[in-house]
Amino acid sequence: MTRRSGGPAVAVIGGGIVGLATAAYLAEGGARVTLYEREAIAAGASGRNSGVVQHPFDPALVPLYHETVTSYRRLAVVAPGAAFALPSEPAGLLLASHHRRVAEALAAHLWIVVPDLEPEILDSAELRALEPALANDLHAVRVPVAYPVVPAAPTYAWANHAERVGVTIRLGRAATPHVTRGRATGVDVDGRLEAADAVVVAAGPWTPALIDPSGRWRPIRPLWGVVVETLLADPPRHVIEEASMDVALGITDLSAAAGGEPVDSAETPETSIVTAGGATAVGSTFLEQEPDPAAWTERILRRAATFVPAVADAPIRETRACARPLAADGRPLVGAVPWVDGLFICSGHGPWGITTGPASARQVADAVLGLGNGGAAAIPAAFDPGRFGIPDEPRQDA
Ligand SMILES: Cc1cc2nc3c(=O)[nH]c(=O)nc-3n(C[C@H](O)[C@H](O)[C@H](O)COP(=O)(O)OP(=O)(O)OC[C@H]3O[C@@H](n4cnc5c(N)ncnc54)[C@H](O)[C@@H]3O)c2cc1C
């Protein structure tokens, strides 16, 4: 389906889940949209993640999660054949530890931030009855969340839908916002200006460099993860995560907080195990520098095998690395860039872009189109792109 409209011309930079969903929402709203991707659809984390649509446990992000789940269900109706099927029920999440006190500390924390999920502690016997694949020395918090998906499937579904609603997708094209006298007038591509009324940058960890080439404004940084995709014969039905997933939970170090050994995330993988589409994604690392994935395979599997012993012998399909676009406060930057008219940002979803990205894409699309309850005003202050200061006046507290 190609839509003809006299709406604004909008350039979107980035062919990950956020850029593609943004482009689709803009086109649905009547804009003439061109999306530029320097490599291929889902070339970044959007195609290489662990594959779980998961409750983010941060109250500011929870509405994005619920809207994103609804958006996936809508895609299955409006774009049948092109979309993937989100499981009808969550698989359930087991936050597991070898130490009961860690499970207890985590359960206490979750009862404060998400009491409606009624997290329960399971001891090793209960766990083994529930999931025979698990090691026999574990304790876990069970939360009724987590939809496993084939990691790239949501992004391809948005790409298919974007094309159906008339988005022009240009692959292998690196684009840079073209700014003249404080206003974005289009994008520079292959040394030429391609004019647009507005530009949205959704380029994952590479977003700040496109917004502020001076290098002063860097509220989003890459946090690299390695995932080993295995063919585990009898995988757990639940999503398994190590209970010290401090990045996800916003706790500095749960293990140390509970009196255990501090976890050095630069050296030690933190286990996650997600099965969808016949493959089991075993992760992951949280690294500041781009890693050599092969150098991490053995360490990731060794640690994961302390949770699911069969992982040690599972055939490996591939090992891959990708970068989480992590904002300094863990929340995305969504909306108008305060110091350039016509320039918008949607990035910084960190470990949860498949879970929250599409809903924030809808928000930034509404802001570009001036829709919603007051347009940009409808975007929560927690996602304000100006909260880390502007390049000329960096805030001390950013
Ligand atoms: C190991 C790992 C596991 C994860 N697991 C999960 C999970 O289970 N659930 C979940 O919700 N999230 C998960 N995430 C996070 C999620 O993958 C990301 O938050 C999300 O994919 C970010 O999407 P994005 O579109 O913002 O960025 P990206 O996917 O990085 O896309 C940005 C795109 O922009 C392109 N680009 C960059 N510069 C330019 C330019 N100048 N011109 C044109 N194109 C450009 C890049 O090539 C790239 O394709 C995981 C991340 C990692 C690293």
Question: What are the DSSP calls for 324-375, one per residue?
Answer: EEEETTSS-EEEE-TTSBTEEEEE-BGGGHHHHHHHHHHHHHHHHHT-TTTG
If asked whether residues 164 and 307 sit together in one domain, one would say no
Question: Is the CB of residue 159 below 6 angstroms from any atom belonging to ligand 1?
Answer: no
Structural domain includes residue 335: yes
pLDDT tens track for 42-83:
999 999 999 999 999 999 999 999 999 999 999 998 887 777
Q: Is residue 67 part of a domain?
A: yes
Residue span of the structural domain in which 115 resides: 93-144+221-327
Compute the distance from residue 101 Cα to the ligand 1 centre, in Å: 34
Instruction: Based on the fold, state whether residues 355 and 226 are members of the same structural domain.
Output: no
Distance from the CA of 103 to the center of ligand 1, in angstroms?
A: 30
How far, in Å, from the CA of 132 to the mean position of ligand 1? 34
Verify whether ligand 1 is closer than 6 Å to residue 16 (CB atom).
yes
Q: Are 184 and 310 found together in one domain?
A: no
Identify the band that residue 398 occupies on the pLDDT scale cut at 50, 70 and 90: very low
Q: Is residue 394 part of a domain?
A: no
Closest Cα to atom 18, ligand 1: which residue? Answer: 353
Same structural domain for residues 74 and 160?
A: yes
Q: Is residue 13 part of a domain?
A: yes
How many separate domains does the chain show? 2
Q: Are residues 266 and 369 located together in one domain of the fold? A: no
pLDDT of amino acid 391 = 86
157 & 36 share domain: yes
Tell me if 296 CB under 6 Å of ligand 1.
Answer: no
Q: How far is CA 361 from CA 107, 354, 398, in A?
A: 32, 11, 24
| 68 vs 17: CA distance, rounded Å | 11
pLDDT tens for each residue of 101-127: 889 989 998 999 899 999 999 999 999
Co-location of 45 and 108 in the same domain: no
**264 and 279 fall within a common domain:** yes
For residues 27 and 74, state if they share a domain: yes
Choose one of 300, 327, 354: the last residue of a domain: 327
- DSSP character at residue 134: S
The Å distance, Cα 133 to ligand 1 centre, comes to: 31
Residue nearest to atom 25 of ligand 1 (CA): 16
Q: In whole angstroms, what is the distance from residue 114 CA to residue 116 CA?
A: 5
Centre of ligand 1 to C-alpha 151, Å, is 11
pTM summary value: 0.94
Name the residue with higher pLDDT: 314 or 262: 314
- Both 254 and 356 in one domain: the answer is no
Structure tokens at 215: 């290098």
Residue 17 near ligand 1, beta carbon < 6 Å: yes
**313 and 268 both lie in a single domain:** yes
By the 10 Å C-beta count (0-12 exposed, 13-18 middle, 19+ buried), 192 is classed as exposed
21 close to ligand 1 (CB < 6 Angstrom)? no
For ligand 1, say whether the CB of 347 is within 6 Å of any of its atoms. yes
What are the start-end ranges of the E strands in the chain?
A: 9-13, 32-37, 52-53, 93-97, 120-122, 139-143, 147-148, 168-171, 175-180, 183-189, 192-195, 198-201, 220-230, 239-242, 272-276, 279-283, 316-327, 333-336, 343-347
- Residue 367, pLDDT > 50, answer yes
Bridging pattern class, strands 198-201 and 343-347: parallel
Q: How far apart are CA 387 and CA 197, in angstroms?
A: 25
- Please write the tens of the pLDDT for every residue from 218-246: 999 999 999 999 999 999 999 999 997 45
For residue 266 the two structure tokens come to 């630069």
Instruction: For residue 52, report the distance from its CA to the centre of ligand 1, in Å.
Output: 14
